Amino acid sequence: DYNPPPYEGPSGEEILRKRKEFLSPSMFFFYNKPLNIVHGRRQYLFDENGRRYLDAFGGIATVSCGHCHPEVVEAIVNQTKSLQHSTVLYLNNAITDFAEALASKLPNDLKVVFFTNSGTEANELALMMARLYTGNHDVISVRNSYHGNAAATMAATAQSVWKFNVIQSGVHHALNPDPYRGMFGSDGEKYARDVQEIIDYGTSGNVAAFISEAIQGVGGIVEMASGYLGEAYKVVRNAGGLCIADEVQAGFGRTGTHFWGFQAQGVVPDIVTMAKGIGNGIPMGAVVTTIEIAQVLMRRSYFNTFGGNPVCCAAGRAVLKVIDEEKLQENAFAVGTYLKQRLAALQHKYQLIGDVRGRGLMLGVELVTDRQFKTPAKAETLYIMDQMKDLGVLIGKGGCHGNVFRITPPLCFTKKDADFLVDAMDY
Ligand code: PLP
């Protein structure tokens, strides 16, 4: 029922003109005529004309509690009024309070937190810690993964479109345990043999780390085949390596069944990295590990100016509270299960839908021009996406061929929203 106040700023055309002149040309956007989004409330976004859109992409799996959630806003405003910045050189309750709350969400002795400013930076730090801790250099990541765009993370990322200035060696890409496209179907343990082969044939036998998403996000919502992580972790630990879970997209209850994506595979990582949903859109990331592994930074001057900023931490603390109080993980499970069923029915109806997958409110719909050869239907994906936008639904896309719809809305999404989305897709 929310009516945004009238928008009085410059038009979309004017903003686009300035954007072309003043912003990096490497930036790209969805839709031929990009939307000028001026307001957000819960699962909705509003454009300059007051038109409402159902946000099924959630700011790229980031707006966990919903746009401008009042409790998160209040926490940010209150913290901003008392202290905006101090650095971790001094004590501040907002930082330690959030670190303690975050640690309580992780299993076993994963309880030492390092705050960063993004997911990339969290993964850079995790990989560096693994290399320092083990004294080894080789890293194994999974093909089709996305881990960031700095030195070590761009090397670990395994999709050509995101790899253009790779300056680190010693990274190996394992077969993707993709139940839809992978050669071993959904037999996760078979794919893990490739990790052993990489160690045997591509390294000295000792590795620093294995890094993996539990459900690949940018790669098109690909859930690791069941049993993969357990087996891969065993193999990597035998070679002296640490196991890093990249929870940048799948964390914070998004997958519905668990708070963290890796938990669905029954594993406990050595290092967990996170960002996106951690602050409901406030830029922040974190690395959580054990005290033993964290000791590698003990006498080193590892530092970043903004990491642990009190305003970000106040937002993060409020996000955890809202996820618990509003039972958003449980909602992600209930609504996600319902939505997946409705999408599966659509798959039954249209040959164009090759696969429906994912968990909770992290769902993917892969479009193919023929089911036998699974030829990516890229043009159709763009066309439907555009049509859905005209009908009032914003959806993401991804996958290395750009033919997968990514559905990662705020976790307050309702069954009614799910119906609205499917009806727009079925238009
Ligand atoms: N890891 C995963 C799984 C991601 O999806 C992303 C971003 O999409 C990153 C890391 C990098 O995070 P950021 O864009 O905050 O640097």
What is the Å distance from ligand 1's center to 146 Cα? 7
39 domain-assigned: yes
Q: What is the mean pLDDT of each successive set of 10 residues along the chain, which is 427 residues long?
A: 91 93 84 93 97 98 98 98 94 97 97 97 98 98 97 96 88 98 97 98 97 98 98 98 98 98 98 98 98 93 92 98 98 98 98 98 98 97 97 96 97 98 97
State both tokens at 283: 């830029």
Residue 34 lies in a domain: yes
Residue 165: what pLDDT? Answer: 86
Ligand 1 geometric centre to CA of 218 (Å):
8
Residues with CB under 6 A from ligand 1: 118-120, 123, 146-148, 213, 217-218, 246, 248-249, 275
DSSP string, 326-348: TTHHHHHHHHHHHHHHHHHHHHH
> Which domain does 389 fall in, by range?
12-65+327-425
Residue 412 lies in a domain: yes
Q: From the CA of 225, how far away is ligand 1's center (Å)?
A: 21
Chain Cα centroid distance, residue 155: 18
How far apart CA 304 and CA 209 sit, in angstroms, is 23
C-alpha torsion 256→260→264→266, nearest 10:
-150
Q: For position 32, what pLDDT does the model report?
A: 84
How confident is the model at residue 246, as a pLDDT? Answer: 99
pLDDT (0 to 100) of residue 241 = 98
% of the chain at pLDDT higher than 90: 92
Over residues 42-58, the pLDDT tens digits come to: 999 999 999 999 999 99
Q: Are 209 and 242 in contact (CB under 8 A)?
A: yes
| 158 within a domain of the structure (yes/no) | no
| 214/134 Cα distance (integer angstroms) | 23
Q: Where are the alpha helices (DSSP H) in 157-284?
A: 188-202, 228-238
Structural domain contains residue 267 = no
Distance 192 CA to ligand 1 centre (A): 24
pLDDT at residue number 25? 83
What is the Å distance from ligand 1's center to 426 Cα? 30
Residue 125 lies in a domain: no
Q: For 379-400, how does the pLDDT look when each residue is reduced to its tens digit (9 = 90+)?
A: 999 999 999 999 999 999 999 9
Residue 60's CATH number: 3.90.1150.10
Give the per-residue pLDDT at 167. Answer: 84
Q: Among 26, 27, 63, 120, name the best residue to mutate to test ligand 1's pocket (greatest count of ligand atoms within 8 A of Cβ).
A: 120
Residue to probe by mutation, ligand 1, list 121, 141, 147, most atoms within 8 Å of CB = 147
Assess if residue 369 is contained within a domain: yes
- Pick from 145, 215, 244, 249 the residue to mutate for probing ligand 1's pocket: most ligand atoms within 8 Å of its CB: 249
- Calculate how far, in angstroms, residue 104's C-alpha sits from the geometric centre of ligand 1: 23
Torsion sign over Cα 209, 408, 279, 400: positive
CA-nearest residue for atom 8, ligand 1, is 218
Q: What is the ipTM of this complex?
A: 0.99
At 30 the pLDDT is 87
Instruction: Give the residue among 94, 60, 2 at the shortest CA–CA distance from 318.
Output: 94
Give the total number of structural domains in the chain: 1
Let me know if residue 273 belongs to a domain. no
Q: How many residues does the chain have?
A: 427
Site to probe by mutation for ligand 1, drawn from 26, 248, 262 as the one with most ligand atoms within 8 Å of Cβ, is 248
